[in-house]
Amino acid sequence: MDSAFLPGDGGLGDRVPFLARLEAADASALRGLGRELKFAARAPLMQQDEPTTHVLLILTGWTKVTSTAPNGYQALLALRGPGDVVGESAAVTGQPRSATVTALEPVRAVAIDHLGFTSFLARSPAVALTLIGLGADRVRAADRRQLLFAAMGVRERLATLLLDLARTHGRPADAGVEITVRLTKQELAGAVSASREMVQRQLKEFRDRGVVTTGRCRLVINRPDVLHRICATIR
């Protein structure tokens, strides 16, 4: 599973979810293989390292994809939302799950047995090729993000992330753009490969400069122009 935080290439706003890539008949047939499940906010949908039993097609709501290192550090790899598929890599390879998927808000999803899913792919070459294309797009975005972030400090990484979230999950607010997906400081840190303390210090600097306003899992971007200038310094 890849990161979805690269503006302009594989970012959240440019994403074309799996179901939207399929012909309507194929998407309907795939959904018909499973049963609908509901998950409360912050409930786990899948757990890292557990054996694979099913894949999920997300119908409504947003989730986070995280991976935990042996030392306990948790990286936020991606956000997945309506139309996305999760758990497909483990289903195809037969390996344990490589990441944890957690609901950020109430989520509805269709659970499809992994054997039923792979059998459907074997009978539907067009769907299988679409899944391969999706995987290639995710890998390409992750590679580009890794290269871009290698040239950045935490300040630039966080500015890039905030701009991407504003573009993909922003709504107008009195003083700027409010991010509608609720992420904690720890989750922001995991998205930019930094510690919570470093991100907290950087957010304080942004607040002191009037760039952002923060609250309990609430984030408003007041001065996107400042964030754009920060990002421009690495180009």
Kindly report, residue by residue over 194-227, the tens digit of the pLDDT: 999 999 999 999 999 999 999 877 899 999 999 9
What percent of the chain clears pLDDT 90, i.e. is strictly above it?
Answer: 79
Q: How far apart are CA 225 and CA 221, in angstroms?
A: 10
Q: In the 8-state DSSP scheme, what is residue 7?
A: T
Q: How many of the other CB atoms lie within 10 Å of CB of 228?
A: 12
Q: Which residue has the higher pLDDT, 113 or 231?
A: 113
pLDDT for the residue 144 = 84
Expressed in angstroms, the distance from the first to the final Cα of the chain is 27
Q: How far apart are CA 212 and CA 220, in angstroms?
A: 6
Q: How far apart are CA 14 and CA 8, in angstroms?
A: 7
Q: In the 8-state DSSP scheme, what is residue 23?
A: -
pLDDT for the residue 95 = 93
Average pLDDT, the chain: 90
pLDDT at 22 over 90: yes
pLDDT at 179 over 90: yes
- pTM, to two decimals: 0.86
pLDDT at 13 over 50: no
Q: Are 62 and 79 spatial neighbours (Cβ–Cβ below 8 Å)?
A: yes
Residue 130 banded pLDDT, cuts 50, 70, 90: very high
pLDDT at 5 over 50: no
Q: In the 8-state DSSP scheme, what is residue 70?
A: T
Give every CB contact of residue 55 below 8 A, 6+ residues apart in sequence. Answer: 85, 86, 87, 88, 91, 111, 112, 114, 117
Kindly report, residue by residue over 72-86, the tens digit of the pLDDT: 999 999 999 999 999
* 128-144 mean pLDDT: 92
Q: Whose CA is closest to 45, among 55, 59, 35?
A: 55
* 143-164 mean pLDDT: 89
